[in-house]
Structure 1
Amino acid sequence: MTRTGALRWFKSSYSDGGGGNCLEVAYEDRPTRVDAIHIRDSKNPAGPALSVTPTAWRRFAESL
């Protein structure tokens, strides 16, 4: 997957902000569609990020 727009990273509203183990999720800021969901460690924002399709992300979220 190739990024074409700016990423908007956000944490879950359940994150306490106390430096715990959190993931951040982002999507490309494009008005027409989302091609990929990006996931990274909030404590290492310069580190690797995982990119998945919206379908894979939805299936993962529904399984929780």
Structure 2
Amino acid sequence: MKNQEIVTRFKKSSASQGDQQECVEVAHTADGGRAVRDSKDRAAGTQFHGPAAWAAFVDALKNDRFEG
């Protein structure tokens, strides 16, 4: 990944508000990708995803391509 510099504040997912246990925060990176972390365990680290990988992930979510 070219640049993992975080250029925005982390924002918590709206689905993680209230009493939800799974809390995810996302911030933009300088290369147009995203940084993702667990809001309850920030010491666990941050994952970085490049622009193409993030776009593919969002597309898969929007098109319900994940089975759970």
Which residues of structure 2 form unaligned runs of 5+? 62-68
How much is the aligned-residue C-alpha RMSD, in angstroms?
2.1
- Residue 58 of structure 1 corresponds to which residue in structure 2? 55
Which residues of structure 1 form unaligned runs of 5+? 29-33
Number of equivalenced pairs: 59
One-letter amino acid of the structure 2 residue matched with residue 8 of structure 1: R
- Residue 13 of structure 2 corresponds to which residue in structure 1? 12
Identity of aligned residues (%): 37
With normalisation by structure 1, the TM-score equals 0.69
Q: How does 1:43-54 map to 2 (within 5 A)?
A: 43-54=40-51
Deviation, 1:13, is 1.7
With normalisation by structure 2, the TM-score equals 0.66
More strand by share: 1
Cα distance 1:58–1:43, how it changes in 2: closer, same or farther (>3 A)? Answer: same
The structure 1 segments of at least 4 consecutive aligned residues displaced by more than 3 Å after TM superposition are 1-7
Task: Give 3-state SS (helix, strand or coil) of 1:57's partner.
Answer: helix
Contact 2:10–2:27, Cα closer than 8 Å, also in 1: yes
More helix by share: 2
